[in-house]
Amino acid sequence: MNKKRLICGDKVLDLSRPAVMGILNITPDSFSDGGNLYSGSSVDLSKTLYAVEQMLTAGADIIDVGGESTRPGAAEVSEQQELDRVLPVVQGIASRFDALISVDTSTAEVIKQAAGLGAHMINDVRALQREGALAAAVASGLPVCLMHMQNQPKSMQDNPTYGDVVADVLEFLQQRKQICLDAGIASDQIVLDPGFGFGKTLEHNLALFAALDRFSDDGSAVLVGVSRKTMIGQLIDSTLDSTVDKRLVGSVTMALLAAQSLVSAGGSIILRVHDVLETVQALTVWQQVKQFQDREKQ
Ligand code: YH5
């Protein structure tokens, strides 16, 4: 059963309505907001905390801190580099804000140390497949998001192929979920994510999007990350792949559609977005209209 909440250490994330996860990219080279939290070659903590404050004021429910760029073509970072980027930021947020912090990492040591500093959730684009990651997640006692990715960021967009993309991705996530259950993570602490843009063509992404409700069939909350991604550009203009800064309205539209499809299926959703204010505004308007409509129907 979907309990409609996650137990995140000393905090609870309410999933009885769509939750918004604001993206905090602590990488010098990230895809849409690369390096904007950097001064020279190191993370600028005061700029970063200001960005966090902005997202919280705009209504973010979670802040997702990531120190590895996973955009198509990106090279891997070393463990030490990731630790150096992520830990001071997790510590800074935890000590200054009453915020729910998620860590976007696949690295066991980052999971361990971030949890020790007060992180509340583990978001892993490699679904805890790296050496030691599963054990570190179990030991943290925190909820986990398992994402599907075909191949690795460096080459994932070269020629992605599937038999049946929805069946293949569902099967992978169910397998990974079972492994987490066997390792002792509770079912209602596991979030599933089809991994939009991670080793997928536009066709693959659209097929997964149309089948979003199936990812919540077993009661799992679903995380959806489409914000500013290539698929939005392709949908807006298939010849030009409109540039990243023109993808705001498309991103918000897609977030709202994802929320609608999961909510009407009785599921829970976390939306991972760059544009927190705009996404929260769309969700709020929708919810108020829906409340009124539901009342009229009684
Ligand atoms: C996600 O979807 N994404 S970071 C591919 C792109 C553009 C942007 C051009 N972490 C997700 O934002 N975690 C990232 O194609 C994530 N789900 C979860 N759970 C990469 C990113 C991006 C990727």
* Residue whose CB lies within 8 A of the most ligand 1 atoms, among 25, 31, 151, for a mutation test: 31
Give Cα 137 to chain centroid, integer Å.
16
> Would residue 118 be called left, alpha or beta, if left means φ above 0 and alpha means ψ between -120 and 50 degrees?
left
- Predicted pLDDT at 243: 77
* Cα 13 from Cα 167, distance rounded (Å): 29
* Cα 246 from Cα 39, distance rounded (Å): 26
Mean pLDDT of 34-53: 88
* Cα 109 from Cα 248, distance rounded (Å): 35
Length of the chain in terms of residues written: 298
Q: Is 279 in the pocket of ligand 1 (CB under 6 A)?
A: no
Q: How far is CA 220 from CA 114, 117, 128, 165, in A?
A: 24, 27, 17, 19
Q: Do the beta carbons of residue 8 and residue 100 sit within 8 Å?
A: yes
Fold for the domain defined by 5-225+263-274 = TIM Barrel (3.20.20)
* Cα 97 from Cα 95, distance rounded (Å): 6
Query: How confident is the model over 193-226, as pLDDT tens digits?
Result: 999 999 999 999 999 999 999 999 999 999 999 9
pTM recorded for the entire structure: 0.96
Amino acid at 100: L
71 Cα–ligand 1 center, Å: 7
Q: Is 123 in the pocket of ligand 1 (CB under 6 A)?
A: yes
Q: Is 71 in the pocket of ligand 1 (CB under 6 A)?
A: yes
Query: How confident is the model over 252-289, as pLDDT tens digits?
Result: 999 999 999 999 999 999 999 999 999 999 999 999 99
- Predicted pLDDT at 74: 84
Could you identify the atom of ligand 1 that is nearest to the CA of residue 230?
A: 9
**The pair of three-digit structure tokens given for residue 213, joined into one six-digit string:** 């409700």
Q: Is 105 in the pocket of ligand 1 (CB under 6 A)?
A: no
- Predicted pLDDT at 241: 59
Return the axis-axis angle of helices 108-116 and 133-140, rounded to nearest 10°: 20
Average pLDDT, the chain: 94
Burial 110-142, CB ≥16 within 10 A → b, else e: bbbbbbebbbbbbbbbbbbeeeebbebbbebeb
**The pair of three-digit structure tokens given for residue 289, joined into one six-digit string:** 């209209």
176 Cα–ligand 1 center, Å: 19
234 Cα–ligand 1 center, Å: 16
Q: Is 68 in the pocket of ligand 1 (CB under 6 A)?
A: no
Residues facing 82 on adjacent strands: none
Is the confidence at residue 242, as pLDDT, over 80?
Answer: no
What ranges in 118-217 are assigned the alpha helix state H?
133-140, 165-183, 202-210
Question: Which residues have a catalytic role annotated?
Answer: 229, 272
Closest-CA residue, ligand 1 atom 5, reads 71
